[in-house]
Amino acid sequence: MERMTGDERRKQILQIASEEFSHGGYYGTSVETIARKAGISQPYVFRIFDTKKGLFISVVQNSFNLVVASFDQSAEGLTGVDALVAMGDRYRSLVRDRLFLLIQLHGFAASDDPDIRAAVQTGFGRMWNAIQKNSGADDVTVKRFLALGMMLNDMAAMDLWNLDEPWAKACVASLPVESWAG
């Protein structure tokens, strides 16, 4: 069996940790479970991430990194409303991924811890800045865009795309751009 490089092991642990934290959240997930699933010792996980909190923060940061990279990629060559629409469409796809969605929600839920809150604030600020940089939108438009994003989180958490109810169908129908783009 081939040995993993340190970078490969770190990525493996982060993937397993993402899966575990998405189910149990920060408070309900044990590093022992993550280590066992990775086939390594718990002290080895702590050698890489220092603490359970450090591991959770790394998972949350990766989630925000994905959002920012996705926004940058989807809006490339676009500005204004076109960039906002492209980023919004991409975010709608991201939240349909249960693992991504639950990590985002658990990050917000664990923000009672000051260190986790700081990581979430930093990630949210990076999203804000990416939206403004890619679209040129003013603060009010960015707030509307992010409010819709939070609504998409809620809709995805409830799996409204698969609920056969008139109100759910109305909720997931495309919103007119002017409702959030100013």
Q: How confident is the model at residue 2 (pLDDT cuts 50, 70, 90)?
A: low
For the segment 50-80, what is each residue's pLDDT rounded down to a tens digit?
999 999 999 999 999 999 999 999 999 999 9
Length of the chain in terms of residues written: 182
Give the separation between CA 154 and CA 19, rounded to whole angstroms: 20
Give the separation between CA 38 and CA 55, rounded to whole angstroms: 14
- The pTM (predicted TM-score) of the whole model is 0.91
Tell me, what's the pLDDT at 174? 67
